[in-house]
Amino acid sequence: MTSVGAAPGVAEIAERTRAFVRDVCLPAEQRFPGPELDRGLRAELQAAAREAGVFAPHVPVEFGGRGLDISGWSAVFEEAGYSLLGPQALNCAAPDEGNMHLLEIVATDEQKERYLRPLAAGDVRSCFAMTEPHPGAGSDPGALATSARRVDGGWVIDGEKRFISGADGAAFSICMARAQEGATMFLIDAENPGWQVGRPMQTTDTVFAGGHSEVAIRECRVSADAVLGEVGEGFGYAQVRLGPARLTHCMRWLGLARRALDIALDRAAQREVFGSRLEELGLAQGLIADSVIDIEASRSLIRWAAGVLDRGSHGRHETSVAKVFVAEAVWRIIDRSLQLTGGDGVTADLPLARFQNEVRSFRIYDGPSETHRWAIARRASRVRAGERETSPD
């Protein structure tokens, strides 16, 4: 039990989040039919999350959060993900959550005050601009084509970006560009005339605030202090962000998969077919059991990878393994749940078809499953050849 006046621990925050999601977020889903989350509803939910004591669990205490480590995030984010609105309410949704973590680790004190503090408070949104049209950066970050050149007093950035989540309405971007010294991250304010948010891209998912947009970067002038971290170290900083970010996607979507199974279990307990309740039929029991196994295995992989990250490793191997398994397990769980609910599952009477649309792209973004499998196999071959004796990172 938490003592009087003591900060709540992970278990208590997770339980508070569970109650908050069920009492506040699930009823609010009726006001979020898609395709984009209303700003007023987002602000309303975040105010309720603050009142419930669950807002920004991942943010350092000095910036208004709960200061949990990544292992702590796993329990809380999973509970938040039980509703499509939970991560937005707690201000732990992508891409803002990953940007907060990156700014915390890499930004200067001045940059933290200017960018991290309002982002952590939910006063603004942000985006992360790395993906480009072919043949630019996508699954292969090394193909980065956006350029940055030095000029008097700063830099000029030129390039094209696409699938930039949250760009429409974001107050600023963390933008990756290639300088002479190598890949470099820049902070670009939305009002910069060289930052031009273009066509919104119609995708199967709708839960990202601001959607996904094309962005044109045209003679975009920024000052020298717009560099995030060191010039030429952008790919290294990308690992600081992307490892935890792909894992937090796993946490949130696992919560939604649990919700899908709960819906299917309710239906299986109520529906009678061929003289028996659906839950008593062997084929249905097989679908249920496989989903439970996928949930437990996913949770174990997430917590394993989170522990590695908390110990200071980049966790490339561990987060890749977790990302591939969880992304595909979540899809299987929701698909089985839809199958168990029969015809109703493919209608708007239940949310399962929407859940399928929301999670499908996770097998592509933050690295397609095939790219991660390629990296996992390469590491395994190197270990087999004796290049590394310890667990691959």
Q: Is the pLDDT of residue 8 over 80?
A: no
Same domain for 102 and 147: no
For residues 360 and 365, what is the distance between their CA atoms, to the nearest angstrom? Answer: 10
Arithmetic mean of pLDDT, 359-363: 96
| HEC profile of the chain | CCCCCCCCCHHHHHHHHHHHHHHHHHHHHHHCCCCCCCHHHHHHHHHHHHHHCCCCCCCCHHHCCCCCCHHHHHHHHHHHCCCCCHHHHHCCCCCHHHHHHHHHHHCCHHHHHHHHHHHHCCCCCEEEECCCCCCCCCCCHHHCCCEEEEECCEEEEEEEEEEEECCCCCCEEEEEEEECCEEEEEEEECCCCCEEEEEECCCCCCCCCCCEEEEEEEEEEEEHHHEECCCCCHHHHHHHHHHHHHHHHHHHHHHHHHHHHHHHHHHHHHCEECCEEHHHCHHHHHHHHHHHHHHHHHHHHHHHHHHHHHCCCCCHHHHHHHHHHHHHHHHHHHHHHHHHCHHHHHCCCCCHHHHHHHHHHHHCCCCCHHHHHHHHHHHHHHHHCCCCCCCCC
| CATH number, position 143 | 2.40.110.10
Half-sphere exposure of residue 256: CA atoms within 13 angstroms, side-chain side:
32
Q: Is the pLDDT of residue 1 over 50?
A: no
Q: Is the pLDDT of residue 5 over 70?
A: no
The pLDDT of residue 388: 52
The pLDDT of residue 272: 85
The verdict on residue 5 lying in a domain is no
Q: Is the pLDDT of residue 3 over 60?
A: no
Same domain for 313 and 224: no
Domain boundary among 234, 249, 283: 234
| CATH number, position 48 | 1.10.540.10
Residue 220: beta bridge partners? 157
Same domain for 377 and 306: yes
Q: Is the pLDDT of residue 68 over 70?
A: yes
Arithmetic mean of pLDDT, 216-231: 98
Same domain for 104 and 214: no
* Single-letter code of the amino acid located at 234: G
Residues of the chain with pLDDT > 70, as a percent, come to 96
The verdict on residue 393 lying in a domain is no
The pLDDT of residue 140: 87
Chain centroid offset of residue 360 CA: 14
Q: How many domains does the chain have?
A: 3
Q: Which domain holds residue 330?
A: 235-384
| CATH number, position 379 | 1.20.140.10
For residues 206 and 202, what is the distance between their CA atoms, to the nearest angstrom? Answer: 9
Q: What pTM was estimated for this model as a whole?
A: 0.93
Token pair 């948010």: residue? 197
Burial class (CB in 10 A: 0-12, 13-18, 19+), 317: buried
Q: What is the pLDDT of residues 112-145, one digit of tens each?
A: 999 999 999 999 999 999 999 999 998 888 899 9
Q: What is the pLDDT of residues 82-98, one digit of tens each?
A: 999 999 999 999 999 99
The pLDDT of residue 35: 66
Q: Is the pLDDT of residue 392 over 60?
A: no
**Highest-pLDDT range among 240-244, 257-261, 273-277, 378-382:** 257-261
Please provide the average confidence, as pLDDT, over all residues in the chain: 94
pLDDT confidence tier of residue 384, bands split at 50, 70 and 90: confident
Q: What is the pLDDT of residues 314-339, one digit of tens each?
A: 899 999 999 999 999 999 999 999 99
Same domain for 317 and 211: no
